[in-house]
Amino acid sequence: MTYQDVLSAPTCERRFFLHKLMNENEKRQEETEEQVSKMKSKGNKGSRTTRVGGEQLKSKMKSGEIAN
């Protein structure tokens, strides 16, 4: 439905269209939130929370904080 179609539609049809559109957006948002929570709860192997730079990485590997 285009913008012009919405403007020319009766008020009850506009309300129905907007309600349906809002419900679809809410469902998408909930699905996205569920996927994010699933990814966080799984404890995915290899996911990083911090970044380590070059020299810092070398020094941590030498000291044994990070395994090779």
Number of domains in the chain: 1
Instruction: Look at residue 20 and tell me if it is in a domain.
Output: yes
Instruction: Look at residue 68 and tell me if it is in a domain.
Output: no
Tell me the residue range of the domain where 10 lies. Answer: 1-43
Residues making up the chain, counted from first to last? 68
Weakest mean pLDDT among 1-5, 44-48, 54-58: 44-48
pLDDT per residue over 9-55, tens digit each?
899 988 998 899 999 999 999 999 998 888 777 665 666 667 778 88
Instruction: Look at residue 64 and tell me if it is in a domain.
Output: no
Instruction: Look at residue 63 and tell me if it is in a domain.
Output: no
Instruction: Look at residue 61 and tell me if it is in a domain.
Output: no
- The CA-based angle 37-42-46, given to 5 degrees, is 110
Which pTM was predicted? Answer: 0.49
Nearest-angstrom CA–CA distance, 35 and 42: 11
